[in-house]
Amino acid sequence: MRQDSPFAPSPLSKVLSYLALLVWAVVVLFPIYWLVVTSLKEPIDVFEGPKYLPFVDFTPSSHAWKYVFGPLGSSIFNAYRNTLVVALASSLLTLILGTMAAYGLTRFTYRPRVGIILSFVACILLGVLLVALGLPWKLALIIVLVLFFLVTQTLGKRSRRSLGNSDIAFWMISNRILPPVVVVIPLYVLYQQLGLLDTPTALIITYTATNLPIAVWLMRDYFTGIPQELEECAQIDGASRFRIFASIVLPLAMPGIIATFLLVLVFAWNEYLVALFLSKANAQTMPLMVSAMSGTRGTEWWYMSVVILIMILPVIFLAILLERYIQRGLLVGAVKG
Amino acid sequence: MARWTDWLERKAGAIFLWPAVLLMLALAIFPLLASIYLSFSRIQFRAGTVSFNFVGWANYKRLLLGTEQTHFLGIGKTLTPLGWILLAGLVGLLLWWVVRHLQRKGSLRGLAYRLGVSALLIFLLWTLLSRLAGQPGTVQTTLVYVLFGTVMQYLLGLGLALLCAQRLPGIRFFRVIYLLPLAITPVGVAYMFRMLTDTGRGPLNPLWQALGLTNFSWVNEPWGARLAVMIGDVWQWTPFMFIVLLAAVQSLPQEQIEAAVVDGASRIQTFIYIVFPYLIPVSASLLLIRLIEAFKIVDLPNVLTNGGPGTATESMTLQAFFAWRTLDLGGAAAIAFLLLILVSLIATIYANVVVARARGD
């Protein structure tokens, strides 16, 4: 199409580009090739030293694949289904809530009052005190909510100092600072109280909440990059905010949305520690199966390779399917038109 | 009907933001409060019941002043000449920052803020450099991982995104391939790198033999082990930078580039004056996100080296994980909160100095 335009890369730079692309492709693919080879090896072929090529260096065997799909089959299938459900549901939810919040943060001005935030914190501390004094938590929650409502209607409105959009964004991302190791036990207690332990729902809620900051931060930048003239035109024509968001902004931000979707999907797909705590037999996910291959009998590299490989497949499939949407040109046409 | 839509329109801002905020609040508050309490307590098992006894600052004291101090904060030595040069460089840079504020007759509050930030950054770099000369604790090891990892991943990701934004035949193959490392669960990546770094049975064995290093397990060498962890980290997280930057490069206004090329700008000039400025806001956020995530590195050092040799590859989160595994929940929570304080400080400074400027708000 534009091959003959002055911006087409010169032959030399083309060769160099391909060279660089190939080098990194090898860096990425070699470890995965090693997984494939290992999945075809008998234990003895793994322990005798490096063997690179099936049929040449060693006789490939499908024992690992047969074991994973045979005796392990039912638990793998269960875990696979859970992972799919949890990852897809939570990443779609994250995307919906995240793009909305990010759009809000780039197009509206929020002024959360310091007074209200402080009274919120004070109410929470009071709630903690009440529970520590032996009140049932449901009762304490009701008391605190009523009190919070009263305080914000009276005292909270008197303070003038307020924060801005960037403070809200920073609060969101700061939720990711605490390492999951310390949060899992409180989360366990929380879901135990709600009766949601060992259900996909618990994982979906947790992953959505933990991945939201990333979605918001990434989408915020893509939305900032979209010129606002288009939206202003639509507004003059009488379109509602929601209409503008759904039919103008979202299509324009498609590359960013797809990239963000893939990222939050793999985060949910791969999460290990929270899944370990919140699920037992029922809601087990694939990352748990991977680490389960390293157990009392040492690390069974051949089985582990198979499990990792079947975990990669759907993600590759999605990446191939969605990669085309990370394309240039959408914005150009829109602004010209 | 009209009134209903009017109301929606007036409340649009709130409707866009609140669902996300509410969900995050609901899930953040209780774990935060509970783990703060944990960090001030010690777990006790008595006759089948578990109780958490309040012990005040004991967990924190142990890490900062007591038995765990060298493990957590390392042992310092006088700086190497290179260390002095680096420190002097930072001091010079910060001095310039403060002096410029004075020249512009900035506010007193701004001056205090800049002095505070400068003091903190100098202190951080000094602890890092002196411990690298002596014996690094988990804090310094984590800082090394974070600095090296974030910078390398950003540079590689940016380079690959620019390469993949070109119109070349077969480019889609590379774009999909480059996402693969993200598709592997971090625990899996860690085990995979354990296979790859094995000098005896790993695929690089002929290389070690050629170098005469067969009996040498490079994972027993502190810097070799750290390097192995960092290579694994870069391998795994470069695609994260890559995909976000690729999407940003792809949505770049095309006319500007074309106009610049028509005006005779070279590729490097186009990059410096048009492409890179456009990428600055995304880059600023991306680096912040990766910075925060990188501080939580745990799977790679755990599986690859088990934190060893000694504590050479142990990150703060891994130290917390080890404490937690021995049921020292209070100690684990205390490490986590010290991490929280450290990262919050760094992230706040970064957000105020870099992100705010990059986004122009």
Q: Which of A92, A91, A84, A83 is nearest to A272 (CA)?
A: A83
- The answer to whether residue A41 scores a pLDDT higher than 70 is yes
When comparing pLDDT for A229 and A329, which is higher? A229
Complex ipTM value: 0.88
Residue B301 in any domain: the answer is: yes
Residue B358's pLDDT is 79
Amino acid identity at A140: A
Judged by a CB distance cut-off of 8 A, whether residue A52 touches chain B is yes
Give whole-number Cα distances, B156 to A57, A154, B149, B172, in Å. 34, 54, 11, 18
Residue B285 in any domain: the answer is: yes
**Quick one: average pLDDT of B60-64?**
90
Residue A328's pLDDT is 55
Buried b (16+ CB within 10 A) or exposed e, A176-201: bbbbbbbbbbbbbebbeeeebbebbe
Contact A175 B24 (CB under 8 A): yes
Residue B130 in any domain: the answer is: no
Mutation target for B interface from A148, A182, A306: give the one with most B CBs within 10 A. A182
> Could you tell me which chain B residue has the CA closest to the CA of A44?
B201
Domains of chain A from N-terminus onward: 1-61 (no CATH), 72-109+165-337 (1.10.3720.10), 113-162 (no CATH)
Residue B66 in any domain: the answer is: no
Residue B72 in any domain: the answer is: no
Across the A:B interface, residue pairs with CB atoms under 8 Å apart total 324
Q: For position B300, which CATH number holds?
A: 1.10.3720.10
Cα–Cα distance between B31 and A178 in angstroms, integer? 10
Phi, psi of A299 (to 5 degrees): -85, 120
Which 266-285 residues of chain A touch chain B by CB within 8 A? 266, 269-270, 272
> Could you tell me which chain A residue has the CA closest to the CA of B39?
A182
pLDDT tens profile A194-220: 899 999 999 999 999 999 999 999 899
- The answer to whether residue B1 scores a pLDDT higher than 60 is no
Phi-psi region of B46 (alpha: psi -120 to 50; beta: other; left: phi over 0): beta
**Quick one: average pLDDT of A95-113?**
92
Least trusted range by pLDDT, from A62-71, B21-30, B154-163, B259-268: B259-268
Least trusted range by pLDDT, from A88-102, A235-249, A316-330, B78-92: A316-330
Residue A334's pLDDT is 44
Which 141-200 residues of chain A touch chain B by CB within 8 A? 164-166, 168, 170, 172-183, 185-187, 189-190
Contact A24 B320 (CB under 8 A): no
Q: Quick count: other Cβ atoms within 10 Å of Cβ B117?
A: 18
Peptide bond into B301 cis (omega under 30): no
Residue B214 in any domain: the answer is: yes
pLDDT tens profile B294-340: 999 998 998 888 887 888 899 999 999 999 888 888 899 999 999 99
Phi-psi region of B221 (alpha: psi -120 to 50; beta: other; left: phi over 0): beta
The count of domains in chain B is: 1
Residue A5's pLDDT is 43
Res. B247 pLDDT band, cuts 50 70 90: confident
Let me know: does A87 contact A203? Beta carbons within 8 Å. no
Residue A4's pLDDT is 41
Give whole-number Cα distances, A205 to A157, B22, B138, B264, B347, in Å. 33, 12, 32, 53, 26
Domain span at residue B267 reads 138-359
The pTM for the full model equals 0.89
- Collapse the DSSP code of B279 into the 3-class scheme (helix H, G, I; strand E, B; otherwise coil) and give the result: helix
pLDDT tens profile B89-141: 999 999 999 998 888 887 888 889 889 999 999 999 999 999 988 889 999 99
Cα–Cα distance between A29 and B155 in angstroms, integer? 20
Residue B168: alpha-carbon gap to chain centroid = 33
Residue B110's pLDDT is 86
Res. A331 pLDDT band, cuts 50 70 90: very low
Residue B341 in any domain: the answer is: yes
- Collapse the DSSP code of A228 into the 3-class scheme (helix H, G, I; strand E, B; otherwise coil) and give the result: coil
- Shortest distance, CA A309 to any CA of chain B (angstroms): 8
Residue A333's pLDDT is 39
Contact A29 B355 (CB under 8 A): no
Contact A104 B16 (CB under 8 A): yes
Residues of B in contact with A213 (CB under 8 A): 24
Cα–Cα distance between B126 and B140 in angstroms, integer? 11
Cα–Cα distance between A334 and A327 in angstroms, integer? 14
Contact B336 A182 (CB under 8 A): yes
Contact B17 A34 (CB under 8 A): no
> Could you tell me which chain A residue has the CA closest to the CA of B332?
A182
- The answer to whether residue B144 scores a pLDDT higher than 90 is yes
**Residues of chain B above pLDDT 90, percent:** 38
Contact A242 B320 (CB under 8 A): no
> Could you tell me which chain B residue has the CA closest to the CA of A312?
B183
Mutation target for A interface from B185, B295, B338, B348: give the one with most A CBs within 10 A. B185
Phi, psi of A198 (to 5 degrees): 60, 35
Contact B179 A319 (CB under 8 A): yes
Contact B31 A221 (CB under 8 A): no
Res. A296 pLDDT band, cuts 50 70 90: confident
Residues of B in contact with A223 (CB under 8 A): none
Look up residue B92 and give its two tokens.
């010079």
Residues of B in contact with A10 (CB under 8 A): none
Let me know: does B313 contact B301? Beta carbons within 8 Å. yes
- Collapse the DSSP code of B135 into the 3-class scheme (helix H, G, I; strand E, B; otherwise coil) and give the result: strand
**Quick one: average pLDDT of A96-111?**
93
What is the pLDDT of chain B when averaged over all its residues? 87
Contact B191 A319 (CB under 8 A): no
What is the pLDDT of chain A when averaged over all its residues? 85
Q: What's the burial of B199, exposed, middle or buried (CB within 10 Å: 0-12/13-18/19+)?
A: middle
Cα–Cα distance between B341 and B333 in angstroms, integer? 12
Tell me the DSSP string of B75-88. B--PPPHHHHHHHH
Let me know: does A269 contact A316? Beta carbons within 8 Å. no
**Quick one: average pLDDT of B32-37?**
87
Residue B164 in any domain: the answer is: yes
Residue A6's pLDDT is 47
When comparing pLDDT for B162 and A161, which is higher? B162
Nearest to B183 among A30, A218, A266 (CB): A266
**Quick one: average pLDDT of B237-248?**
91
Nearest to A290 among B31, B188, B261 (CB): B188
